[in-house]
Each structure stands twice: as structure tokens, then as C-alpha cells.
Amino acid sequence: MRVACGLALWLVCATAFASERVAFIKIDGAIGPATATYISRSIEEARTQNAQCLVIQLNTPGGLLDSTQTIVQSFLGSTVPVVVYVAPTGATATSAGCFITIAASVAAMAPATTIGAAHPVSIGGFPSGGEEKTDDTMKQKLENFSVSYMEAIAGKRQRNVEWAKSAVKESASISAQKALELKVVDLIAPDLPDLLKQLNGRVVDGKTLKTAGAEVAEIKMSPSERVFQKLWRPEVMFVLMLIAIYGIIGELTTPGAILPGVVGAIALVLALYLAAILPVNVTGLALIALALMLFIFDVYATTHGVLTVGGIIAFLIGSLMLFNRADPLFRLSLNYIIPATLVTAAFFIFIIGKGLRAQLLPVKVGAETLIGRTVTALTPINSRGGSVFVEGEYWNAISDTPIEKGEQTEIAAVEGLTVKLKAKGESNHAIN
């Protein structure tokens, strides 16, 4: 009986200890697929740990709409209360971060932080000319969807719907204190301990939180999540695209090297994966492809470098248009574009150009170099055979026209280990 009571007491204490746990993660940077996976996994781990809540410390300039939707859906379907804490001091929750903060079970901010500016930016390029009207229509559709989506989230969480809509329509942005006054967020806390103290006793989704003095268990990003979080950047895709170009074209111009082809193929697969995620402009890709063709054509054409200059211009403009420069988050820096343009031009002019020109030079080694050589017949030679001495070797020889011993003759063709001869000055047509 005493043992049973002791076991029951231990179970009660263990349960109480387990309940006083708060799961914690940090999101610092752009919102992408890796971020969405990390947050979804953390919610599941917090549920498994029987945590009081999951606190997400957020500092982001924005991110992808698809990833934001995934995060919002995981928030709304979570059985564990999710607290989004915009921190540390000076942090922002703009664009995608605004959607994520509004969707949280509890929204909190540190002093001197900001939230808002959630106006969507078109995920494609900005076509010109006849496509301008179509582009405007698509942007309007995207804006209307974002407004209704934000309205639904704010209404679900009983936050200031009108301000939330203005954050999308007008890119409205406010400070933490103003956000608290407008009921956009629920709390202002200078640090995590103070946040947990304010959360203690708060009823969230029918659950009374016990967070005062709770153990904070940080959930780290997995190695794969860290890798993909670093990978999905415009500059990474740009570099991978260049590696793919150099590797694959280098392999095609120097068959058998193998390594450039393998590296180029791997880089191409990764670049295609990122192109499916990042807001890539098809026009930019087309200009870069045109530049590559101009570089190669200039090797064969006698344009005195005109096509190369055109290729450099096309590559530069294509790189500038490759990503949507209206969104600072996906803006490719000139620090990458200019060196890449110069290196690519040099690669085609000095490496690929020399390689292709070398392939056009006359053959200088091998059996083909024997054609046209003048030799002396060592024996009488006819269609049944004979022999000559050339390049330090004896060769079997045949000729449709009989050749006397000691007569000067010319090699017309090489067939295996036999040379076909013709009389000097005789055309090839006469022996065929």
C-alpha cells in the first residue's frame, strides 16, 4: 500500500513537472520552405513534450506566400497554444511576419519593435508592353486574396481586422506600443522571462497556461533544415546556375573530363529546385540563355567581338531581371551580378573559345596526318598489295593504278593498317 502511494505521488509530481515546460524556437531571417517545416515540426514536438505552449521568437523581413500559408495552417490546427514573440528589441515582423504574428494564439512584441507592411509583391516578373495589363490583373488578384486571407486570420484570432487589412492594402506599419493600443497584439514584454510571467494564468484556446518559472526547452533546427534555410537565397541559386553553366559546357567542349559534367549536373538539379521556390523571372532566364548562345556563336563567326559584347549586355540585363527587384528580400546584389558577368565573359572568350577553336584546327597527330604524304614504293604496288616506308614504319599499300618499285607516289587514304596510294598529281576521283 505504501509502495502504491509512493508510486502515485511520483506520477503526480512527474506530471506536474512535465506540464511546467515551454517549448521555444527562434526564427531570424526570411520565411521559406525550411522555416515552414521547422515550425510545423516544432509544434508537433511541443505536443509530444506536453509543453504548455510553443514560443516563437520572430524577426523577419518577410518571405514566400506558400510557406506563410503552411505556417498559418499549422498554427490554426495546433492543439498546443502558439505564442509569437517579435523580439529582440529592434526586430520586425513585416510582410509574411505580419501574417504569422496575427495568426498566433498569443501575439507579443518586445519594446521598439515593428509590425506591418504586408502588401504582397508579385512572385513572377514584371512583363512589359502587351503583357502589362495582364500583369496588373494578376497583381490585383494577389492583393485581393491577401486582404481576404488576412481578414480571415485576424477575425479568427479576434484581432483588429481593419488595421490588419490596411497592413496589406496600404503597407501600414506600427510600433509595438501602437499595436497593443489597436489590439493587433496581446502583450508587450521586454524579455522572455517577463513574457512567461505575463502568460501565466492566461486562458488560451480553453487551456490555462502555467508558464511562471517553467522550464524553457529550445527546439533546434535539424541539419537538413539549416542547410535548406541557407540554400534558398537568390544569390545561392545564381551561383549554382553559373556552376551548372561552366560545368556542363566545359564537359561538352572537352569530352571525357567527367568531373565538370558531374559538378554541373548536381548544380543544375539544385538550381532547378530553387527556381521552383524563388520568384524567378522567365525573361531574365531567356536573356541569360541568349547571352550564352551569343558567346558560343562568336567563336565561329567573324564578327570581331560584336556578338561577345552583345552577350555581355544580355547577360547583365538578364541577371538584373532574374529576380523581382521590387522586393528587397529577393533582390540580387550588383556585387554578385557584375563579377559574374565578367567571369562568364572571360570563361567563354578565353577557355571555351580556345577549346572550340582548337577542335577546328587541322589534325596534327594520328593516321589522318599521313594523307597527302609523298612516299617511295618499296615494291611493285597494285590492287593486290605492296609496301611503303613512312614515319619510320613499313605499311601495306594498295593502288588501283599499278605503281613500279622506286616510283614516287602519294597517300590518298588510310584504311586500318593499309594505305591507299595514287600517282602524284592524280585526283582522288580517279582512284575511287
* CATH code where residue 420 lies: 2.40.50.140
Grade residue 102 by pLDDT with cuts at 50, 70 and 90: very high
Q: Which pLDDT score, from 0 to 100, does residue 355 have?
A: 54
Per the model's pLDDT, the better-predicted residue between 199 and 410 turns out to be 199
Q: pLDDT tens across 276-317, in order?
A: 777 788 888 899 888 888 877 776 666 656 788 888 888 888
Q: Which pLDDT score, from 0 to 100, does residue 432 have?
A: 41
Both 72 and 146 in a single domain? yes
297 in a domain, yes or no? yes
Domain containing 309: what range? 233-359
Share of the chain above pLDDT 70, in %: 81
What mean pLDDT, rounded, does the chain reach? 81
Determine the average pLDDT of the residues in 109-126: 75
Tell me the sheet residues that pair with 398: 420
Domain count, the chain: 3
Q: What is the rounded distance in angstroms from the CA atom of residue 333 to the CA atom of residue 234?
A: 9
228 in a domain, yes or no? no
Both 349 and 372 in a single domain? no
410 in a domain, yes or no? yes
Residue 319 has pLDDT above 60, yes or no: yes
Q: Which pLDDT score, from 0 to 100, does residue 356 have?
A: 53
Q: pLDDT tens across 164-214, in order?
A: 999 998 889 999 999 999 999 999 999 999 999 999 999 998 889 999 889
Q: What is the rounded distance in angstroms from the CA atom of residue 256 to the CA atom of residue 269?
A: 21
Q: What is the rounded distance in angstroms from the CA atom of residue 229 to the CA atom of residue 373?
A: 65
217 in a domain, yes or no? yes
Both 252 and 303 in a single domain? yes
Q: Which pLDDT score, from 0 to 100, does residue 78 have?
A: 93
Determine the average pLDDT of the residues in 50-78: 92
Q: Which pLDDT score, from 0 to 100, does residue 12 have?
A: 44
Determine the average pLDDT of the residues in 244-271: 81
Both 83 and 148 in a single domain? yes
Per the model's pLDDT, the better-predicted residue between 343 and 43 turns out to be 43
Residue 132 has pLDDT above 50, yes or no: no
Determine the average pLDDT of the residues in 135-159: 86
Both 139 and 41 in a single domain? yes
Grade residue 71 by pLDDT with cuts at 50, 70 and 90: very high
Q: Are 22 and 214 in contact (CB under 8 A)?
A: yes
29 in a domain, yes or no? yes
Q: Which pLDDT score, from 0 to 100, does residue 359 have?
A: 52
What grid cell was written down for 297? 556563336
Q: pLDDT tens across 16-36, in order?
A: 444 589 999 999 988 988 999
Last residue of a domain, one of 316, 331, 359: 359
Determine the average pLDDT of the residues in 65-78: 92
Both 35 and 182 in a single domain? yes
Both 173 and 267 in a single domain? no
Q: Which pLDDT score, from 0 to 100, does residue 7 have?
A: 46
Q: What is the pTM of this model?
A: 0.67
Both 64 and 167 in a single domain? yes
Q: What is the 3-state secondary structure (H, E, C) of the chain?
A: CHHHHHHHHHHHHHHHHHHCEEEEEEEECCECHHHHHHHHHHHHHHHHCCCCCEEEEEEECCECHHHHHHHHHHHHCCCCCEEEEECCCCCEEECHHHHHHHHCCEEEECCCCEEECCCCCCCCCCCCHHHHHHHHHHHHHHHHHHHHHHHHHHHHCCCCHHHHHHHHHCCCEEEHHHHHHCCCCCEECCCHHHHHHHHCCCEECCEECCCCCCEEEECCCCHHHHHHHHHCCHHHHHHHHHHHHHHHHHHHHCCCCCHHHHHHHHHHHHHHHHHCCCCECHHHHHHHHHHHHHHHHHHHCCCCCHHHHHHHHHHHHHHHHCECCCCHHHCCCHHHHHHHHHHHHHHHHHHHHHHHHHHHCCCCCCHHHHCCCEEEECCCEECCECEEEECCEEEEEECCCCECCCCEEEEEEEECCEEEEEECCCCHHHHC
Q: Which pLDDT score, from 0 to 100, does residue 423 have?
A: 73
Per the model's pLDDT, the better-predicted residue between 122 and 112 turns out to be 112
Determine the average pLDDT of the residues in 25-54: 93
202 in a domain, yes or no? yes
198 in a domain, yes or no? yes
117-126, 207-216, 265-274, 397-406: least confident range? 117-126
Per the model's pLDDT, the better-predicted residue between 74 and 143 turns out to be 74
Both 337 and 389 in a single domain? no
Residue 134 has pLDDT above 90, yes or no: no
Both 103 and 86 in a single domain? yes
Both 100 and 13 in a single domain? yes
Residue 124 has pLDDT above 50, yes or no: no
Both 96 and 201 in a single domain? yes
Q: Which pLDDT score, from 0 to 100, does residue 362 have?
A: 55
Residue 352 has pLDDT above 50, yes or no: yes
Per the model's pLDDT, the better-predicted residue between 190 and 431 turns out to be 190
CATH number at residue 179: 3.90.226.10
Per the model's pLDDT, the better-predicted residue between 128 and 350 turns out to be 350
Q: Which pLDDT score, from 0 to 100, does residue 256 have?
A: 65
Q: Which pLDDT score, from 0 to 100, does residue 126 have?
A: 31
Last residue of a domain, one of 199, 221, 243: 221
| Beta-carbon-side half-sphere exposure of residue 116 (alpha carbons within 13 Å) | 23
Grade residue 255 by pLDDT with cuts at 50, 70 and 90: low
Per the model's pLDDT, the better-predicted residue between 234 and 53 turns out to be 53
Residue 268 has pLDDT above 50, yes or no: yes
Last residue of a domain, one of 221, 243, 262: 221
Q: Which pLDDT score, from 0 to 100, does residue 311 have?
A: 84
46 in a domain, yes or no? yes
